[in-house]
Copies of this chain bind each other. A is one copy, B any other.
Amino acid sequence: MYRRALFVGRFQPFHLGHLAALKWILEREDIVIIGVGSSQFSHDPLNPFTAGERVEMIWRVLMSEGLLNRCVIATIPDTDKKHSLWVSMVLHYAPRFQRVYTNDPLSQLLFKEANIEVSPIPMFKRGEYSATRIRRLIAEGKPWEHLVPREVARFIKEIGGEDRIRRIYRAFGTS
């Protein structure tokens, strides 16, 4: 019987900390479902990339790392603050799993109340590898490419992601 786990995040964007976490989980599990959360949002400072863009950047990394046959990508919408529905939403959108890896305290609480096993993930250079920090570096025109897998950097440039993030930060008054 395979051990199967869910690794949940927003991946805005998918960075080297996420990749290190994924590899750490893959040492403990056979199959990892990568759950791309808040999938309905994009074009805001917390969520600049669409669901499809996040799926593509993760897929490119998995291909390059030779992990496509051990990882499945699933997008999971938010429940508009109706938190008691969220675990069911995850169970609907994700292939079946036996445990969840996440450091988000609300997700931990919700999965625990649903009797689903939750484990924390060790932080990999938390100060550096942070999606918030990467988005801000992009908005400010500073170097950020070394913080994400090469495929992600290339992809973000291909789709004009740097320009989009700068405009979003200006639009929302966060630059």
A residues whose Cβ falls under 8 Å from a Cβ of B: 39-44, 50-53, 55-56, 59, 63, 68-69, 72-75, 77, 80-85, 87-89, 91-96, 104-106, 108-110, 113, 159, 164, 167-168, 170-172
Is the Cβ of B105 less than 8 Å from the Cβ of A171?
yes
Give A81's nearest chain B residue, CB to CB. Answer: B41
Give the distance to chain B from A115, nearest Cβ to Cβ, in Å.
9
Q: Are A83 and B52 in contact (CB under 8 A)?
A: no
Compute how far the CA of A83 lies from the CA of B51 in the bound complex, rounded to whole angstroms.
12
Residues of B within 8 A of A91 (CB): 50, 52, 84
What would 19 A/B residue contacts be, using CB atoms closer than 8 Å?
A: A39-B93, A43-B109, A44-B83, A50-B93, A51-B92, A52-B74, A53-B95, A55-B95, A75-B93, A82-B92, A85-B85, A87-B88, A88-B88, A104-B171, A106-B167, A106-B171, A106-B172, A109-B164, A113-B164
A77 to B81, CA, bound (A): 13
Do residues B42 and A84 form an inter-chain contact, with CB atoms below 8 A? yes
B85 touches A72 (CB 8 A): no
CA of A81 to CA of B39, assembled, Å: 12
Distance in angstroms between the alpha carbons of A50 and B44 in the assembled complex = 26
Q: Which residues of B contact A51 (CB under 8 A)?
A: 74, 92-93
